[in-house]
Amino acid sequence: MRTVIITGGFGVLGRAVSEAFRQNGDRVVRVDFATSAPDGNPAGLDLGGVDLTDAEAARAVAAKVVDAFGGIHVLVNVAGGFTWQTLDDGGPETWARMFAINATTCLSMTKAALDHLSATRGAAIVNIGAAGALAAGSGMGAYAASKTAVHKLTESLAAELSGKDCTVNAVLPTIIDTPANRADMPDADFGQWVKPSAIADVIVFLASPQARAINGALVPVSRGS
């Protein structure tokens, strides 16, 4: 049985990804900044109250997982956040916050798990990038820049691990159909948004043996229901 770490595991997308891996027969470890999960995680492990911008906290997560289950086979970096703010209304604080939430969390957890993943046959890292980072619109600068950092980490680490049996890829969703996004954009056409379960299906595929030849890819996930 594979052990899969999912950061941001208590959120809407994180829970969808967790369920998809459980249905695939994998053991799931959910890690989140929130202190408690809103639902159960059968046969898995939940680690709440974890600040993944802290490299030591990320190392502690990796150590707990290895101690509990003997290794790490897949890492999915879902943890992140979004802020829409023009430069006129904001400044360096917003950019620093977006980099911390989106890029530093990904970097810290990946670094903490890297030795275990790079030594594991058929290992995989899947990051959550963003289609909106490919061309930043008004108010999207801080978010897009932080997600671009995730894209470049994905590409560079894939090259670094090219001699290992560990793939590194990212999915780039458009707007995700979540309750929070519906509340923020009530007049939008929700039918054009991507379902969390659809994103989860792509992630499970990228972590599967069938995707072993895919490495360093930034995969767009843009189709609505």
The pair of three-digit structure tokens given for residue 101, joined into one six-digit string: 């939430």
If residue 108 lies in a helix (H) or strand (E), which one and from where to where?
A: helix 105-118
Please compute Rg for the chain using Cα positions: 17
How far is Cα 5 from Cα 74, in angstroms, rounded to an integer? 6
Phi then psi for residue 10, to 5 deg, are -95, -10
**In angstroms, how far is the first alpha carbon of the chain from the final one?**
31
**39 and 63 Cβ atoms separated by less than 8 Å:** no
Cα torsion 131, 133, 135, 141: sign: positive
Q: Which of 10, 33, 99, 143 is catalytic?
A: 143
Known active-site residue 207: no
| Residues acting as catalytic residues | 143
